[in-house]
Amino acid sequence: MSSDLIRVILVDDHAVVRAGLKAVLGAARDIDVIGEASNGREAVAMVERLKPDVVVMDLSMPEMDGLAATKALSAAETPALVLILTMHAEEEYLVTLLEAGASGYLLKSAADRELVDAVRMVAHGDTYVQPSAARALARGLRQKETQADDRERYARLTERERDVLRLVASGFSAPEIGEKLFISPKTVDTYKQRIGEKLGFSHRSEYVQFALKIGVLKE
């Protein structure tokens, strides 16, 4: 921020909602609502023109939703910070939203109590996440860390071991795999043993789950 006054743009496809948010923020002397947009596309253009400090962005909107707009603002390297506002506790989107460049996440049902504090926190460089969403964020990050660890384990396999893993996960037998890779069924079994030792697998179901998790096998 260039001054103590926090300049805000409100983005929501419902004018009544924007009016309510504006009334809440209007009670704060250090916050000035300088613009309103009804969809993400309008918001991106308005941010470029007005250069706000914070964009209070609805998640679900026509033409361009809050996630797409946040990604567009992040790609444009705008200094404006985004606080996502949503009607539902869509916690499964939380990690994706923060990775897209959002600086916070607030339920509309809590806006009358928390919006001012959330805008202030985001404007000063902090991330605003409600307690329930924080737990979901922790779970999401743990899951991503696990997936990254699995991909690293997969990368340690040799190219031929990866081929065998994918084919086993796809349901092919040792003779069928041998025919595809031009090796004997016995050699396939040797590769399966090596993969099992490296990854701790003993059943085909583990191959399938692992391959799905790291994205080398489609459901």
In order of their start, the domains of the chain are: 6-137 (3.40.50.2300), 156-214 (1.10.10.10)
User: String of b and e for 38-57 (b: at least 16 CB within 10 Å)?
Assistant: bbbbbbbebbeeeebbbbbb
Q: What is the pLDDT of residue 123?
A: 93
- Edge to edge, what strands does the sheet with 31-37 contain? 31-37, 6-11, 54-58, 81-86, 104-107, 128-129
pLDDT at residue 144, rounded to an integer: 57
Note the pLDDT of residue 142: 53
Residue 210 near residue 169 (C-beta atoms within 8 A): yes
| Chain position carrying tokens 């939380």 | 94
What are the φ/ψ torsions at residue 61 (nearest 5 degrees)?
-145, 155
Give the pLDDT confidence score for residue 92 in this predicted structure: 59
Per the CB < 8 A criterion, the answer to whether 93 and 67 are in contact is yes
| Nearest-angstrom CA–CA distance, 28 and 44 | 25
pLDDT at 99: 75
Sign of CA dihedral 18, 81, 139, 66: positive
Predicted local distance difference test score (pLDDT) of residue 219: 46
Among 164, 174, 148, which Cα is nearest to 196's? Answer: 164
Q: Please give the chain's pLDDT, 219 residues, in tens.
A: 556 899 999 999 999 999 999 999 999 999 999 999 999 999 999 999 999 999 999 999 988 999 999 999 988 888 999 999 887 665 556 767 777 888 888 888 888 999 999 999 999 988 887 655 555 554 555 555 556 677 888 889 999 999 999 898 888 889 999 999 999 999 999 999 999 899 988 777 788 878 877 888 754
pTM over cut 0.95: no
Q: Using only C-alpha atoms, what is the Rg of the chain?
A: 24
